[in-house]
Amino acid sequence: MKTKHLIDLESLSVSELMEVIELANRIKDDPKAYSEVCKGKILATLFYEPSTRTQMSFKTAMLRLGGSIIGFDNPQNSSVSKGESLKDTITVVGGYADIIAIRHYKEGAAKAASLYSAAPVINAGDGGHLHPTQTLTDIVTLYNEKGTLDNMCIGLCGDLKNGRTVHSLIKTMSHFKGNSFVLISTPELGVPQYIKDIMNASGCRYTEVSSLNEAMPMLDVLYMTRIQRERFKSYEDYERQKGVFVLDREKLRLAKRDMKILHPLPRVDEIAEEVDYDDRAKYFIQTVYGMYARMALIMKMLENADRKPMPRQSDTHQAKCNNPNCISCSEEYLPRLFKPLGGDMLLCKYCDGRNLI
Ligand code: NCD
């Protein structure tokens, strides 16, 4: 694997992704053979936001590879509560651990961490932006349960605006052959423009619909998501959106017999409990694939990790990102990094936000 840090799955080629999937499957088939491959190595999990699956599957993955774990899951118990910057925390932890998984409520936080870490950094979710290791989990699940990652009609339903798992999954699946997307949401919770731009650039067909019933018969995969309450400005705004899309047995009657239902979990009320007993429901086995996916990823990333921190970024820009959820707006020391999009547009390299100069 050429990339040192995993901030976005875009840094892996399709063949590198397939290598990770195949390694995950080899580990799944013979876990004993891998039980000591990370002996002496330490994973740090830095979770600034709540997590059950991602955090525990990272920890279990490292323990099952024979390595050790350190970290925090409540920043209030760390020096973050005393006002320590992300840069200082990461610089220190990068000196203790061999690899770091970080989850943060700010978009672009993992990218920011990667600028200061001697150890490889894995993005375990950055605000409403991206969640690449959930996508690895999703594609290991699809590869095993559908037998392919090509030519599928993928429905994504729920909070497509704030759901970072949705953004990462669309980005990755648009690199495989012949996939199309059906985006099922209210008009307020549709995918961000930059995700539409990616689908357009890769030539993937997509449609936006507001009814699960309408979408159901065409889908090979249905990816349900939770309305992301913590990303709403007010509880009233959230109340207006919750409970709009609920998958139940009745709706499933319209689906193909071999459609697969995925969900990154946690579920709130968007999948009725009765669906758990349908053999198309794959969201619990998905969590197990996630552990193997993370074992494979940790192994690959440790293979050729150097201990060199990135050189100081010199291309800091005059402009300031206009996304209030972007890490570059709260950690003021960060270099302002933009990619010109042509005309007056700049793309923030932390959060993918579009900025008018
Ligand atoms: C997701 C997340 O944190 O983005 N959960 C997860 O990592 N499995 C989805 C969610 O919280 O809704």
Q: Where are the domains of the chain?
A: 9-131+288-303, 134-284, 327-356
Topology adopted by domain 9-131+288-303: Rossmann fold (3.40.50)
Indicate if the pLDDT at residue 211 is higher than 90: yes
| Beta-strand relationship, 153-157 and 221-224 | parallel
In degrees, rounded to 5, the angle at the alpha carbon of residue 188 between the alpha carbons of residues 182 and 194 is 65
- Pocket lined around ligand 1, Cβ cut-off 6 Å: 53-54, 125, 131, 134, 164-165, 226, 228, 264-266
Q: What is the pLDDT of residue 318?
A: 85
Provide the 3-class DSSP secondary structure of residue 92.
helix
In this prediction, residue 352 has a pLDDT band, given cuts at 50, 70 and 90, of very high
d(CA 267, CA 225) in angstroms, rounded, equals 7
pLDDT, tens digit, 9 for 90 and up, residues 42-63: 999 999 999 999 999 999 999 9
Q: Which residues pair with 103 in a beta bridge?
A: 47
Burial 190-229 (b: 16+ CB within 10 A, else e): bbbeebeebbeeeebebeeeeebeebbebbbbbbbbbbbe
Q: What is the pLDDT of residue 316?
A: 83
Burial of residue 243, with CB atoms counted within 10 A of its CB: 0-12 exposed, 13-18 middle, 19 or more buried: exposed
d(CA 346, CA 321) in angstroms, rounded, equals 9
Indicate if the pLDDT at residue 314 is higher than 80: no
Q: Which atom of ligand 1 is nearest to the CA of 103?
A: 3
Contact between 145 and 232 under an 8 Å Cβ cutoff? The reply is: no
Could you give the strand order of the β-sheet that contains 68-72, starting from the edge strand earlier in sequence? 68-72, 42-47, 99-104, 121-126
The model's pTM is 0.96
- HSE value, Cβ hemisphere, 13 Å, CA-based, for 195: 26
Q: What is the pLDDT of residue 357?
A: 79
Between the CA of 115 and the centroid of ligand 1 the distance, in Å, is 25
Whole-number percent of the chain with pLDDT over 90: 91
Between 64 and 305, the higher pLDDT residue:
64
The reply to whether omega before 217 is within 30° of 0 (cis) is no
Closest CA to 97 of 72, 77, 74: 72
Q: What is the pLDDT of residue 312?
A: 82
Q: Which atom of ligand 1 is nearest to the CA of 287?
A: 8
In this prediction, residue 1 has a pLDDT band, given cuts at 50, 70 and 90, of confident
The whole-chain average pLDDT of the chain stands at: 96
Average pLDDT for 152-168: 98
Q: Do domains 9-131+288-303 and 134-284 have the same CATH topology?
A: yes
d(CA 113, CA 350) in angstroms, rounded, equals 10
Under 8 Å CB-to-CB from 279, ≥6 apart: which residues?
none
Q: What is the pLDDT of residue 90?
A: 97
Q: What is the pLDDT of residue 317?
A: 87
Does residue 292 come out as left (phi exceeding 0), alpha (psi in the -120 to 50 range) or beta?
alpha
Whole-number percent of the chain with pLDDT over 70: 100
Between the CA of 47 and the centroid of ligand 1 the distance, in Å, is 13
pLDDT, tens digit, 9 for 90 and up, residues 264-311: 999 999 999 999 999 999 999 999 999 999 999 999 999 978 888 777
Please name the residue whose Cα sits nearest to atom 12 of ligand 1. 226
Please name the residue whose Cα sits nearest to atom 1 of ligand 1. 264
N-term to C-term CA, the chain: 36
Q: What is the pLDDT of residue 69?
A: 98
Between the CA of 266 and the centroid of ligand 1 the distance, in Å, is 6
Q: What is the pLDDT of residue 315?
A: 74
- HSE value, Cβ hemisphere, 13 Å, CA-based, for 102: 32
Q: Which CATH architecture has domain 134-284?
A: 3-Layer(aba) Sandwich (3.40)
Indicate if the pLDDT at residue 263 is higher than 90: yes
Indicate if the pLDDT at residue 313 is higher than 80: no
Q: What is the pLDDT of residue 311?
A: 78
Please name the residue whose Cα sits nearest to atom 6 of ligand 1. 264
Contact between 16 and 296 under an 8 Å Cβ cutoff? The reply is: no
